[in-house]
Amino acid sequence: MHNRHDQNLDHPALSYYDKIISYAELENNIEQYARFFFSRGVKQGERVALALPNCPEFIYSYLGIARAGGIVLPLNLLQTPQELLYILRDSGARFLVTSPAIGLQLKQLPGLPLTLFILDEETQKEIMTAPPVCFPEVKSDEVCTFLYTSGTTGQSKAVMLTHDNLLGNVRSLDEASDFGRDDNFLAVLPMFHSFGWTVCVLLPLYLGCTITILDNFRPKEMLQVLSEKGITVFCGVPSMFTVLLKLRQKASFPRLKFVISGGDSISEENMLAFEKKFNFPIVEGYGLSEASPVVCLNPLYGVRKIKSIGLPLPGVEVKVVDEEDRELPAGEIGELVVRGPNVMKGYYNREEETREVLRGGWLHTGDLAYRDQDGYFYIAGRKKELIITAGFNVYPREVEEALASHPSVAEAAVIGVPHPLKGEVVKAFVVPEEGRMPDKQELLQYLKGRLAIYKIPEEYVITSDLPRGMGGKVMKRFLK
C-alpha cells in the first residue's frame, strides 16, 4: 500500500487514545514487523491469523504480513473456540499474531497447531530490532487476505482477496469521494470486518490522511471523540446509529462531513431521526466480503435516495438478473450480480462453489434487488434467508443444526424478526422430541458454547409441528 503523498511523513497517520503515530513511524513499524515475521518463517503464501482488537498493532501486523508475502487471516473475536478452530484448520494457518490477553484464551484451544506471536514487551523489542531482509517481490494479483464468511450451507469458507482486489476497491472509493489528507476517519468498526478495514483503514492510508482508532464501540466515548478529535468521516452499522439516537446528550460535531452506513439497511424512520438530531447526512452503501467489500454507495454530493443502496462505485458494474442470468429491466426484482476489479479470486479450496458464484464472470451475491429509472439500486430481500443482527450475518441453517443436536429437540426452524435496536434478532421454532419439553434457559445454556453470542436465538416458540410445502421444505414465510 503506497501512500501517494511521500512528502507526508510528519503528517499524523494514526491517533490512538493519547498516541499519535506519523506516516514516517507507521512506515518504520510496518517494515520492522515485516522483517520480524519474515525471519520467523512467514514466507510467500503462508497464512497468518490475526486476533487483535482495533489498535495500531493490528495495522502494523496486517501490512507487515502482506509485505513479507504472507496471507492475512483476520479473526472475528466474537466467534467461539469451535468456530475459530474450524477456520484455523480449514485455512492451513501456521502462525497467529495476538495480544497477551487474547493469547491466554487461545491457548485453551485443544490441539492448536500454530506458532503464536504474542505481542508482549519482549516480542515488541525483537520486532523493533529485527535486521533488514530482502523480501520477495509480491505480485499484485497474489492473494493478500482470507476473509471467512458463512456460506448458505452454514460452513464458513475463505474469500480470497488479492492486493489488486483491495486496492481496486480503494481506488473506486477515492473516485467516488473527494476526501483528502486533511480528513480524519474514525475506525470504530472492527478491523477484522471487511467494511471497517477497507473504508476506515486502507482508504485513509491511501489518501495520506489520519485514522482515529477506537478499540470498541462505547456510545458516550464515541460521541466525545467525534466532537473533540475533529473526525470528518465515520462508518458504522445501523445498530450503532440506533444506540446513538437513544443517548440523551446533545453534541456538536464541528468537522463531521459524512456518516457512511453499511452492513444492513437502516430504517427510514431512524435515518431521518438521526439526521434531525445530529444534523448531518447518513450515506448508505452496500457491499460483501466477496467484493472487497464495497459495491454501491449513495452519491456524497448529489441525490441520495432513502432506502436505496445508491449507485455502483466507479469501475464496478452491477446488474439485476433472472434465474437464467438475463438482465432484467428497471423495477423488476432479481439477483444482484457484480463485476469489477474488487471481485474476489474465489473461495479457498472450494472450486465448485467458486465456479457457481462467479459463473459467467459475474459475482452472484444471493441478494435480491431491483434498480429504478435513475439507475439507483435497492435491496429487496435475500435469496438466502440471511438474518442480520447488529451488522452480523447469521445463517438460519447453522442455528437450526445446533438446536437440532439437543437431545430434547426433534427439529427446529429459525427466522429473523424485526428488533428496534439490532435490526433483527434470531427467533427459533422448536419441535420437541416425544415426551420431552426443553425450556428456553436450557436451550440458551446449550447453545452458549456452540454458537457465537449474536447467533443465539433470543425468542423461542415450542410447537408440535412446522408448516411444510409440497416438497417437505419448511415454509418460513408462514412462521413470520
* Domain extent listing, the chain: 6-371, 387-479
Q: Who's near 43: CB < 8 A, 6+ residues apart?
A: 68, 69, 70, 136
* Crossing angle of helices 23-39 and 56-67, rounded to 10°: 60
pTM, entire model = 0.85
Report which of 211, 232, 245, 213 is spatially closest to residue 300, judged by C-alpha positions.
Answer: 232
Which architecture characterizes domain 6-371 according to CATH?
Answer: 3-Layer(aba) Sandwich (3.40)
What is the b/e burial string over 103-137, where b = at least 16 CB atoms within 10 angstroms of the residue's CB?
beebeeeeebebebbbbeeeeeeebeebeeeeeee
Task: Please say whether the beta carbons of 183 and 232 come within 8 A.
Answer: yes
Residue 393 neighbours by CB distance under 10 Å: 18
Sequential pLDDT tens for the chain (480 residues)? 445 545 679 999 999 999 999 999 999 999 999 999 999 999 999 999 999 999 999 999 999 999 999 999 999 988 888 889 999 999 999 999 999 999 998 888 887 879 999 999 999 999 999 999 999 999 999 999 999 986 544 578 999 999 999 999 999 999 999 999 999 999 999 999 999 999 999 999 999 999 999 999 999 999 999 999 999 999 998 888 888 888 877 778 889 999 999 887 777 888 888 888 888 889 999 999 999 999 999 999 899 998 899 999 999 999 999 989 999 999 998 899 999 999 999 999 999 999 999 999 999 999 889 999 999 999 876 666 778 898 888 878 789 889 988 999 988 999 999 998 888 999 999 999 888 899 889 999 999 989 999 999 999 999 988 887 555 567 777 777
The CATH class given to the 387-479 domain equals alpha beta
Task: Please say whether the beta carbons of 71 and 143 come within 8 A.
Answer: yes
What are the cell numbers at 279?
444534523
Report which of 131, 167, 135, 118 is spatially closest to residue 42, judged by C-alpha positions.
Answer: 135
The rounded distance, in Å, linking the Cα atoms of 94 and 114 is: 5
The rounded distance, in Å, linking the Cα atoms of 334 and 350 is: 25
